[in-house]
């Protein structure tokens, strides 16, 4: 089977990442996957500051490409194509990685591959597969997106449901902010929840009884806000003793609804396999509950390997590799698209 080597750059938000992978449709080897996080830079602002992010990408990228080549132990001449994230994400951040990969492609006379970040998350559970991408019902849960898709094969995806307001990761981050926990909130809530009672607060499971596979997390976020004002920390009563129970109950509410909708979506498609990807999918409570629900419903569950759940360039290289093997390449005049939607990947049917 034909093998190819791809170098990819990911710079859609606050992580600068470069990865080199080699492989074919069935199996890939991650030769290097470098990620530098800017979390410390943005922490004091409680979220990502676009101007700071793009300046940092431009400073970090060049040494990171060199690091990736060094760790992969291959010369630049062995790269068959250069890929980069085109969207969705922050415009000024996307431009740095996208333009750099184009420059590498031109100067090395190799194809350029413009990649949708969400397709990277979507197929990332198969990055450690030995028999390629299998048909599955996919739950993608990140900071910006929450959606369920039916994947037939690479490039053939059907959107079954999505969030109508906040993404699950966004809800984690906003609730953490209310509780004055550091950014990003997801891992902090998971940590606090370990010492809490998940049934302490009956937070809502929005749209659970609706027949569709869409989500809504804004009501849950408001319910947490009301609970906090009832506990009234302003009168001097410390909120701290309640934090573990609030986090555990909130995490359970998110987990319950994600599992309920995804299992039902899989059943509606008679799908024997569910995959999970995106930043929120590294949450251990979510993984454990999904494993249990999968056993109960006789559906196999495949998780994205933990190191590739949050933003990384290996998943972008993985998409790039499949595009390259299909003979696809992107025109050098192609632009970034901060609001890139799913249509742009579904179109490849
Ligand atoms: O996929 P990702 O790195 O970036 C996007 O493309 O959005 O996801 C980041 C999101 C953040 O909202 C973060 O709070 C959440 O993933 N996250 C978690 C955990 N680790 C990261 N949420 C819940 N539990 C975690 N352990
Ligand atoms: Zn992402």
Residue with CA at minimum distance from ligand 1 atom 11 = 143
* ∠ Cα 151 154 158 (to 5°): 30
In the prediction, which pLDDT does 342 show?
A: 63
Q: Atom of ligand 1 at shortest distance to CA of 184?
A: 14
- 273 φ/ψ angles, rounded to the nearest 5 degrees: -140, 135
State in Å: Cα 199 to ligand 2 middle.
30
- Distance in angstroms (rounded) separating the CA atoms of residues 43 and 211: 40
Pocket probe for ligand 1: among 13, 186, 338, the residue whose CB has the most ligand atoms within 8 Å is 186
Please give the helix or strand (H or E) that residue 262 lies within, else none: helix 243-268
CA of 143 to the centre of ligand 1 (A): 5
Question: pTM for the complete prediction?
Answer: 0.94
Percent of the chain scoring above 90 in pLDDT: 84
Instruction: List, for residues 144-153, the tens digit of each pLDDT value.
Output: 899 999 999 9
- Give the ligand with the smallest distance to the CA of 141: 1
Candidate from 169, 250, 315, 339 with most ligand 1 atoms within 8 A of CB, to mutate: 169
Beta bridge partners, 114, equal: 84
In this predicted structure, the answer to whether residue 188 has a pLDDT above a threshold of 90 is yes
Length of the chain: 349
* Cα–Cα distance for residue pair 78/81, rounded to 1 Å: 9
Peptide bond connecting 324 to the previous residue in cis, omega within 30 degrees of 0:
no
Residue 96 — pLDDT band, cuts 50, 70, 90? very high
| Complete edge-to-edge strand list for the sheet that includes strand 15-23 | 28-37, 15-23, 4-10, 81-87, 112-116
Residue 346: per-residue pLDDT = 53
- The average pLDDT across 209-237 equals 90
Ligand nearest to the CA of 47: 1
> Where in 67-185 does DSSP place strands (E)?
81-87, 112-116, 136-141, 146-153, 156-162
pLDDT value at position 347? 44
Indicate whether 194 pLDDT > 80.
yes
Per the structure block, which two tokens stand in for 302? Answer: 């495949």
Q: Which residues contact 211 (CB under 8 A, 6 or more apart)?
A: none
Segment 33-48, tens digit of pLDDT: 999 987 777 777 767 7
Instruction: Say if ligand 1 is within 6 A of residue 173 CB.
Output: yes
- Residue 262 burial (CB count, 10 A): 27
Give the ligand at the shortest distance from the Cα of 174.
Answer: 1
Strand order in the sheet with 156-162: 156-162, 146-153, 136-141, 273-277, 300-303
| Cβ(310) – ligand 1 distance below 6 Å | yes
What tokens appear for 93 in the block?
């951040």
Write the residue with the smallest CA distance to atom 10 of ligand 1. Answer: 143
Sign of the C-alpha dihedral, residues 93, 98, 99, 104?
positive
Write out the H or E segment, with its range, that includes residue 277. Answer: strand 273-277
pLDDT 10s digits, 263-280 = 999 999 999 999 999 999
Mutate to test the pocket of ligand 1, among 33, 142, 147 (most ligand atoms within 8 A of CB): 142
Which atom of ligand 1 is closest in space to residue 118's alpha carbon? Answer: 6
To the nearest whole number, what is the mean pLDDT of the chain?
93
In ligand 1, which atom is closest to the CA atom of 310?
3
């Amino acid at each position: 089977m034909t093998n190819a080597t791809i170098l990819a750059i990911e710079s859609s938000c606050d992580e600068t990442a470069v990865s080199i992978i080699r492989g074919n449709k069935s199996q890939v080897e991650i030769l290097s996957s470098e990620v530098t996080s800017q979390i410390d830079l943005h922490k004091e602002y409680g979220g990502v500051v676009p101007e700071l992010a793009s300046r940092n990408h431009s400073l970090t990228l060049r040494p990171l490409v060199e690091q990736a080549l060094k760790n992969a132990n291959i010369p630049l001449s062995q790269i068959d194509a250069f890929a980069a994230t085109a969207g969705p994400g922050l415009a000024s951040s996307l431009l740095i990685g996208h333009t750099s990969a184009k420059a590498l492609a031109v100067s090395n006379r190799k194809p350029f591959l413009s990649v949708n970040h969400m397709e990277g998350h979507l197929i990332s559970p198969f990055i450690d597969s030995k028999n390629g991408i299998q048909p599955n019902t996919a739950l993608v849960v990140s900071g910006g997106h929450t959606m369920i898709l039916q994947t037939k094969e690479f490039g053939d995806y059907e959107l079954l449901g999505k969030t109508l307001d906040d993404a699950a990761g966004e809800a984690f981050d906003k609730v953490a902010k209310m509780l004055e926990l550091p950014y990003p909130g997801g891992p902090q809530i998971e940590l606090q929840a370990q010492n809490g009672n998940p049934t302490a607060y009956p937070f809502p499971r929005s749209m659970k009884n609706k027949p569709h596979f869409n989500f809504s997390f804004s009501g849950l976020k408001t319910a947490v806000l009301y609970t906090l004002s009832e506990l009234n920390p302003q009168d001097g009563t410390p909120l701290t003793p309640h934090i573990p129970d609030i986090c555990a109950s909130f995490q359970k509410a998110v987990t319950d609804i994600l599992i309920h909708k995804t299992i039902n979506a899989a059943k509606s498609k008679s799908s024997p396999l569910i995959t999970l990807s995106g930043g929120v999918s590294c949450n251990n409570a979510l993984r454990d509950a999904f494993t249990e629900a999968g056993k109960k419903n006789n559906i196999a569950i495949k998780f994205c390997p933990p190191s590739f759940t949050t933003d990384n360039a290996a998943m972008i290289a993985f998409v790039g590799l499949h595009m390259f093997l299909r003979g696809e390449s992107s025109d050098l005049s192609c632009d970034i698209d901060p609001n890139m939607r799913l249509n742009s990947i579904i179109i490849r049917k």
